[in-house]
Amino acid sequence: MNFSDFDFHESLMDGIRAMGFEKATPIQEQAIPTILSGKDIIGSAQTGTGKTAAFLLPIIQQIIGSEDHGEIKALVIVPTRELAVQIDQQMEGLSYFTGVSSIPVYGGSDGVTFANEKKALSEGADVVIGTPGRLIAHLNMKYVKVAALKYLILDEADRMLDMGFHDDIQKIISHLPEKRQNLLFSATMPPKIRELARKVLTEPEEINIAISKPAERVMQIAFVVYDNQKIPLVKHLLQAKGLNSVLVFCSTKASTKELARDLRQAKFSVEDIHSDLEQKSREEVLTKFRNRKLKILVATDILSRGIDIEDIDLVINYDVPNDGEDYIHRIGRTARAASKGVAFTFVNEKSQNQFAEIEELLGRPVDKAKNPSHIGPGPEYKPRKKGKKPRRNFKGGRSFKGSKGTKASKPRGGGRRK
370 vs 219: CA distance, rounded Å: 16
Q: Which pLDDT band holds residue 360 (cuts at 50, 70, 90)?
A: confident
Whether 417 is covered by a domain: the verdict is no
**Quick check: is 292 in a domain?**
yes
188 and 268 assigned to the same domain: no
Domains of the chain: total: 2
The whole-number average pLDDT for the span 67-95 is 88
Backbone CA torsion sign across 152, 153, 157, 163: negative
Q: In terms of domains, do 194 and 267 share one?
A: no
Q: Is residue 153 part of a domain?
A: yes
CATH of residue 342's domain is 3.40.50.300
The model's pLDDT over 216-252, given as tens digits with 9 standing for 90+, comes to: 678 899 999 999 999 999 999 999 988 889 999 998 8
116-136 confidence digits (pLDDT tens)? 899 889 887 899 999 999 999
Whether residue 227 sits in one domain with residue 203:
no
Residues 246 and 354 in one domain: yes
User: For residue range 306-344, what is the model confidence (pLDDT) as tens digits?
Assistant: 555 667 889 999 999 876 767 877 887 775 554 578 999
Please state the length of the chain: 418
pTM given for the model = 0.62
Q: What is the pLDDT of residue 390?
A: 43
Residue 69 lies in a domain: yes
Q: Please answer whether residues 371 and 233 qualify as being in contact, where contact means their C-beta atoms are separated by less than 8 angstroms.
A: yes
Domain identity same for 204 and 74: yes
Count the neighbouring beta carbons within 10 Å of the beta carbon of residue 247.
25
363 in any annotated domain:
yes
Interatomic CA distance for residues 43 and 95, integer angstroms: 23
Domain containing 138: what range? 3-209
Same domain, 222 and 198: no
Let me know whether 347 and 239 are in one domain: yes
Query: Cα(235)–Cα(402) distance, rounded to whole angstroms?
Result: 50
- One domain, residues 143 and 276: no
State how far the Cα of 407 lies from the Cα of 68, in Å rounded to an integer: 73
The answer to the question of residue 169 being in a domain is: yes
162 in the same domain as 260:
no
Q: How high is the pLDDT of residue 392? A: 39
